[in-house]
Amino acid sequence: MGFYDFSVKDPQGNDVSMASFAGKVVLVVNTATGCGFTPHYAPLQKMYEELHDQGLEILDVPCNQFLGQTPGTDDEIHEFCTLNYGTTFPQMHKSDVNGEHELPLYAWLKQQKGFEGFGEGELAGKMDALLAGIDPDYRSNPDIKWNFTKFLIDRDGNVVARFEPTADMADVEKAVRALL
């Protein structure tokens, strides 16, 4: 199976086929409305506005699996994102990205690019400390560790990068631009 073989539900319950993104560069992001990384919506929206016409798609998958930081309904999440960040990229149905009920797309994404660490710096250290208290084995499994983990898919449907939420958004944008 490949990226284009999957689909996810939109907030109305309709299937959105990843095949509809064929030939585009896609950034798949699990998001949250009440997270310290929620401000990532601003650079994501800016990137979308600047690069959508060149072939960028951003797929927003709200997720409530990380300390309950996305408690709202799909409508409430959408309202929050549009009012606070002016988001216009596609937002999907709130879904699990880990565990028994994870989206099959996420199971596949994690197989393609596993966890490689949070990088360096104070924020990376804080995330390491937080996760060590939640899952002492977190470093050795491919699970999504937190909100705003990003998978970068090239125009051929290949997963070319995984960015943890601690990654600098300028680095994410640089990688996206390189594929456009």
Catalytic residue among 35, 61, 77, 131: 35
Residue 70: other Cβ atoms inside 10 A: 22
**Which pLDDT score is estimated for 151?**
98
**Which pLDDT score is estimated for 31?**
98
Q: How is residue 100 annotated by DSSP?
A: T
- Residue 41 is encoded by which pair of tokens? 């919506």
Q: How would you write the pLDDT of the chain (180 residues) with one tens digit per residue?
A: 999 999 999 999 999 999 999 999 999 999 999 999 999 999 999 999 999 999 999 999 999 999 999 999 999 999 999 999 999 999 999 999 999 999 999 999 999 999 999 999 999 999 999 999 988 899 999 999 999 999 999 999 999 999 999 999 999 999 999 999
In the annotation, is 81 catalytic?
no
Say if CB 13 and CB 42 are below 8 A apart. no
Cβ within 8 Å of residue 98, ≥6 positions away? 65, 106, 143, 144
**Which pLDDT score is estimated for 166?**
96
The tally of CA atoms less than 13 A away on the side-chain side of residue 162 is 22
d(CA 106, CA 65): 13
Q: How is residue 3 annotated by DSSP?
A: G
d(CA 153, CA 128): 26
Q: Pairing between strand 56-62 and 25-31?
A: parallel
Domains located in the chain, CATH noted: 20-116+144-156+175-179 (3.40.30.10)
